Amino acid sequence: MALALETIDLNKHFGGIIASSNVSLKVDKGARHALIGPNGAGKTTLVNLLTGILRPTSGRILLEGADITDVEPHDRVRLGLARTFQINQLFGDLTPLETIGLAVSERHGSGSDWWRLVGSRPGVTDEIVELLAHFRLEDVMHERTAVLPYGRQRLLEIALAFACKPRVLLLDEPAAGVPEVERHEILATIAALPADVTVLLIEHDMDIVFTFADRISVLVNGELFVEGTPEEVARDPRVKAVYLGEEAVHV
């Protein structure tokens, strides 16, 4: 099977701290791949390396076979790699309509268009409407994002990544801090993604991971520790000791 995303011996050092150590991750095209690990395992660092916010100390990153190690973050989006953030990163002064409109315009290549009005292309408007309806944000589309309830902001966070129409989507704890009701909404939306979209899910919640993922990688101390199907990972005694063991202690 072709690879959607691959890292080769990826290292990231912050001074003396090793945040990622020889990570060689392979994500198949169309996979529902989960990345788990205890706090401080380097999951978010890895996402930041993949999306280009951080530059690796050494190693390569391949997107659908093409080397993107030195590609700027915004160009990676254009190449089909989008993400959501663990902590909402939204435009507080813009409305959901403007936020989604912005991302859709950008993808249609009219982002540097300074003469026409926003949404003057019919295709753009239709797409904005589709996304707003899909994430049930129509009723708040004219409100300032900053005043929306947290659950709605979370939906917008994910809608914004969807608006980039990614072929590879990185979800950094999409359901974090979301009330139970809206959590289902978010998970249903993610589950409804087209099968050819590759998803890499970074998640803490084991229920979500085991219902969603068809493949799991475990990251510990910046290293890729174990990789396999959910059954294999669940059975692995080392994972139990390091990761699930830690959870068990809390219980």
Partner 1 sequence: MTRPLSSTVATYLARRARWTPLEIAFWLLAAATIYLLPGRHLILTEIAILGLFALSLDLILGYAGIISLGHAAFFGFGAYCAGLLAKHEIITEPVVALIVSGLAATVLGFVTSFLVLRGSDLTRLMVTLGVALVLREIANKYSELTGGADGLQGITMAPVLGRFRFDLFGHTAYIYSLVVLFVLFVIARRIVNSPFGLSLRAVKGNPLRASAVGIAVNWRLVAIYTIAAGYAGIAGALLTQTTAFTSLDVLAFERSADTLLVLIIGGTGYLYGGLIGAVIFKLMQDWIANLTPQYWQFWIGLVLVLIVLVGRERVAGWMAPIRALIGRIGRRARRADALGASPGQGG
List of residues contacting partner 1 (CB under 8 A): 51, 53, 72-75, 77-78, 82-83, 85, 89-94, 97-99, 101-103, 105-107, 110-120, 122, 125-126, 128-130, 132-133, 138-139, 141-142, 160, 163-164
DSSP 8-class letter at 109 = T
Distance in Å, CB of 181 to partner 1, minimum: 19
Distance in Å, CB of 21 to partner 1, minimum: 25
Query: CA 234 from chain center: how many Å?
Result: 23
Q: Which is nearer to partner 1, 114 or 195 (CB)?
A: 114
Q: Which is nearer to partner 1, 55 or 142 (CB)?
A: 142
Q: Which is nearer to partner 1, 29 or 144 (CB)?
A: 144
Distance in Å, CB of 34 to partner 1, minimum: 21
Distance in Å, CB of 184 to partner 1, minimum: 22
Q: Is there a contact between 61 and 6 (Cβ–Cβ < 8 Å)?
A: yes
Stretch (H or E) spanning 6: strand 3-14
Contacts of 98 (CB under 8 A, 6+ apart): 91, 118
Task: At 122, list the tokens.
Answer: 């019919």
Query: CA 154 from chain center: how many Å?
Result: 13
